[in-house]
Amino acid sequence: MAKKIRLPEEASQDEASIALLKLAAEKGIETAFSRADAMAACPIGSDGICCKVCSMGPCRLVKEGQTGICGATVGTVAARNFARMVAAGAASHSDHGRDLAYTLLAAAEGHAPDYKVRDPAKLKEMAGYLDVKVDGQTTEELAREVALAALAEFGKPQGEILNLKRAPAKRQEVWRKLGITPRNIDREIVEIMHRTHVGNDQDAEHILDHVLRAALGDGWGGSMLATDLSDVLFGTPGPVFTEANLGVLKDDEVNIIIHGHEPTLSEMIVAATQDPELIEYAKSKGAKGINIAGICCTANETLMRQGVPLAGNFLQQELAIITGSVEAMVVDIQCIMQSLAVLSDQFHTLLITTSPKAKITGATHIEFDEHRAMEIAKEIVRKAVDRFPERGKTAIPDHRANMIPGFSHEYINYALGGYYRGSLRPLNDAIMSGRIRGVVANIGCNNARVCHDEVFRYVVTEFLKNDVLVVETGCGAIASAKQGYMTPEAAFEVAGPGLREVCETAGIPPVLHLGSCVDNSRILTVLAQVATEGGLGEDICDIPAVGMAPEWMSEKAISIATYCVASGAYVIMGHSSPVEGSEEVTRIISDGWEEKVGGRLEFTNDPEEIVRRSLAHIDKKRAELGLPEYDPTKWGKSGDWRINQLLELPFTERIEAAYGNQAE
C-alpha cells in the first residue's frame, strides 16, 4: 500500500509551521513530519508487547496466550515496558533537579560567581519544606544548607521524600496505606530497573504498584525540587508580556534559539545578549542587534521569568532552522532532535550542544561549566554573531501572538487575593458556585504522528467554551500561546459566561501558563492547596479536575501522567496507548488504579472523546461534592459584559434599559 504523504495543512494546524512545511517540501528538506509519513510505527512495540530485556528475544507476543521464551506473559511484558518509560521520565526530570541543586551549592560556596539567590523568600520557604532550620544564617549559608538538603533527597539512606508533606493529609494516608510513599528519588528509579530485569518481578499489578511510587518521587521529589530551586536561583515567575511563534525571529538581527530544558545556561545567554559590547559586535557584522527566542522548555523557563519570546514547540525545532534566519541553536538536555545536526549543515546555522550529558554527532560542543557561566555564554553569543554575514535568503513566517505567561502558584494566589489576602479561596468559590465548571491541566508534547497542535487547539477551545479554567505547561502551553489564548482579552472571545466573569474580575487569561515540564509540580501545589482550602473535598481526587497530554510523545509525559494519577487525578492521554496490547495492564492503570489511589489513566486518540470524558468527570465530581449542576445561563450578566451590551444601544434606550422609565 502506498504511504500517505500528508499535505502541510494535514500535518499541522499552526499557520507558521504550515508555511515552512510548504517551503521544506519545495526544497526537498526532510523533517520529522516527512519522516513520520515515510515510516510507520512498529505496531508490536507501540502496543507495549515486544520484550527485549534479554538476548533470548526480542519476543513479540502477538498471538492469544503467547508468552516470551522465559514464560513472561503479555501483562508482565507490557507492565515492564511501561515501568521503564516511567523510570526514564522520572530520571530525566529528577536529574535536572539535581543539577540545579549543585548550581545552588556552587553559588552559595562562591564557586559560581554568576549565580546568586534571586528569591530569598522562596529559599526560606524551601528550607521549611526540607527541615532546614532558619536561624540567622546569611543568605549564602542558608542556600548551602538548602542545596545539601535537596541533594540528600536523591539518595538518603532512610526516611521518605520530605516534600510529600505538601500533599493533603488524606493523600499522604492513601500512599502510606498502600506502601507507595517514595523513600528517595534515585532508589525508586533504580528499583524499577531492578524489578524489570529478566526473571525478577513478574506480576503486572505488583510492578505497577512500584511504578506509582517511583513516579511520586518524580512529581513531589525531583520535579518539585527543580521548580523550587529554579525559582530560588532565577526568581519566582510573575506575569510578563511577550509573544509566541516563529514570527518572533527577526530579519535584521542575529537570531539565537535556546532549546531544551535547563534554565542554567540559557539565563546567562539571555543576559549576554544584553551586553553592550556584544551588541556593538553584532552591529559591526551588519546586524541591528541580537534577538533571542526559545523552543520547548528552555523556552518556557526563560519565558516565565524574563519574557523571552517563544519561537515554538517541539515540532517547530527543525522549522526554526528552515527559516534560514537562525545563526545559532543552543541546546542543553531533552527533546532535542538529532536531525538538527544534519539540517543545520544545510543552512548557516551553528548547532551548539552544551550539556556534559548530551552531545550530538556533527554539532559543535561547547561544554557548560557553571563556574564560568557568563564567559561561556558570551563565547556562544559571539560565535552566533560570527555566522550573521553568512545568512542567505530568509523565510520568517509573519505569525506571532501576544501572550502573558508567568503564573507561578505564588502569583495565582496574589492575582486572586492581592498582597494581603493572597489565596485560592476565590478559585474554590468560583468552582463551588459553578462560574468555573472545573479545571483542566493541559500539558505535554507534540507528536509527529498527530496533526501538530490540532488536538490542543480543539480541546482547549471546547473547555473554555464550557467554563473550564485551563492551566498549562510544556509544549501544550506553547500551542495555546500561539493560538492567542494567553491574554486576558481571550476570555471575552472564547470563554463561557462564568469563566469570563472570573477572568474579568481577576484580570487573568482563561488559559494560565504555569511553566516547563518540571513545573507540573506547580499544578500539584495548586491542587493540594485547592483540596485543603475547603469546600471542594479534602483530597486531590475530590476536585472537579482532569489532567491530559493530548499530543504526548516523551517518556517524561508518561511519568507525569503516572504521578498525577498517584496523586488522585483522572488523566487522559491522547494519541496511542503504550500498553494497548495488554487488556490486563489497561485495566490495572484505569479501574485498578482508581480503586487504589482514586486517579485513573486512560488513552484515546479521539479529541471529542477527550472533551466528553473530561466534562463527564468534572460533572460527576461536582455532583459527589453536592455542588450545583453546571448552568451557564446563570452567569455573564455582570461587569463590563453588561456595560458593553448597553453601549451598543442608542442613548435613550440605554438609559431606559439601565434605570427603567422612572417617570412612569
Residues that bind ligand MSK (CB under 6 A): 261, 296-297, 314, 335, 444-445, 474-475, 516-517, 554, 556-557
Calpha distance 17→34 (Å, rounded): 13
Closest separation in Å from C-beta 130 to ligand MSK = 25
* DSSP of 198-210: TTS---HHHHHHH
d(CA 496, CA 511) in angstroms, rounded, equals: 13
Q: In the complex with ligand MSK, which residue's Cβ is closer, 153 or 301?
A: 301
Pairing of strands 438-442, 545-549: parallel
Q: Which is nearer to ligand MSK, 145 or 551 (CB)?
A: 551
Could you tell me which residues are beta bridge partners of residue 440? 470, 546
Q: Which residues contact 92 (CB under 8 A, 6 or more apart)?
A: 333, 334, 555, 556, 559
| Residue closer to ligand MSK (CB basis): 108 or 297 | 297
Using the minimum distance from each CB to ligand MSK, give the nearer residue, 457 or 556. 556
Instruction: DSSP for 122-176, please give it.
Output: HHHHHHHHTT---SS--HHHHHHHHHHHHHHHHH-SSS--GGGGGS-HHHHHHHH
DSSP-assigned letter for residue 541: G
Given the complex with ligand MSK, which of 332 and 542 has the nearer CB atom?
332
Q: How far apart are the C-alpha atoms of 559 and 553, rounded to whole Å?
A: 12
- Our CB check for ligand MSK shows the closer of 427 and 572 to be 572
Measured between alpha carbons, how far is 292 from 443 in angstroms, rounded to an integer? 24
Cell of 458: 480543539
Looking at beta carbons only, is 278 or 524 nearer to ligand MSK? Answer: 524
256 φ, ψ to 5°?
-120, 130
What is the nearest approach in angstroms of ligand MSK to the Cβ of residue 515? 10
Residue 556 Cβ, how far from ligand MSK at the closest point, in Å?
5
Q: What is the CA radius of gyration of the chain?
A: 25
Cβ at position 415, least distance to ligand MSK in Å: 25
Least separation in angstroms between CB 387 and ligand MSK: 25
Q: Which amino acid, 548?
A: M
Beta carbon of residue 374, minimum distance to ligand MSK (angstroms, whole number) = 25
Closer to ligand MSK by Cβ: residue 292 or 588: 292
Phi/psi of residue 291, nearest 5 degrees: -115, 135
Q: Least distance (Å) from ligand MSK to the CB of residue 475?
A: 3
Could you tell me the three cell numbers for 252?
535584521
Q: Got the DSSP string for 619-641?
A: HHHHHHTTPPPP-GGGSS-STHH
* Cβ 288 vs Cβ 253: under 8 Å: yes
Is the C-alpha dihedral spanning 577, 578, 583, 584 positive or negative?
negative
Instruction: Closer to ligand MSK by CB, 381 or 448: give it.
Output: 448
Give the nearer residue to ligand MSK in terms of CB position, either 335 or 381. Answer: 335
What is the closest distance, in whole angstroms, from the C-beta atom of residue 662 to ligand MSK in the complex? 59
How many residues appear in the chain?
664
Q: Which lies closer to ligand MSK via its Cβ, residue 226 or residue 254? A: 226
Cβ 550 to ligand MSK, closest distance in Å?
A: 11
Distance CA 544, CA 548 (A): 14
Nearer to ligand MSK, 213 or 261 (CB): 261
CB of 100 to ligand MSK, least distance (A): 15
- The three-state secondary structure class of 366 is coil
Cβ-Cβ contacts under 8 Å for 82 (sequence gap 6 or more): 48, 208, 211, 558, 578, 579, 585, 589
Q: Which is nearer to ligand MSK, 163 or 473 (CB)?
A: 473
Nearer to ligand MSK, 188 or 519 (CB): 519
Distance CA 589, CA 578 (A): 12
- Of 17 and 554, CB closest to ligand MSK: 554
**CA 586 vs CA 53, 590, 601: distances in Å:** 21, 6, 9
Task: Tell the smallest beta-carbon distance from residue 547 to ligand MSK (Å).
Answer: 13
The least distance separating ligand MSK from the CB of residue 78, rounded to whole angstroms, comes to 22
CB of 334 to ligand MSK, least distance (A): 6
Exposed/middle/buried for residue 287 (C-beta within 10 Å: 0-12, 13-18, 19+) = buried
Q: Which residue has the cell 504498584?
A: 209
Q: Which of 485, 499, 525, 505 lies closest to 439 in space, CA to CA?
A: 499
d(CA 14, CA 18): 6
d(CA 35, CA 46) in angstroms, rounded, equals 17
Beta strands 468-473; 511-515: pairing state:
parallel
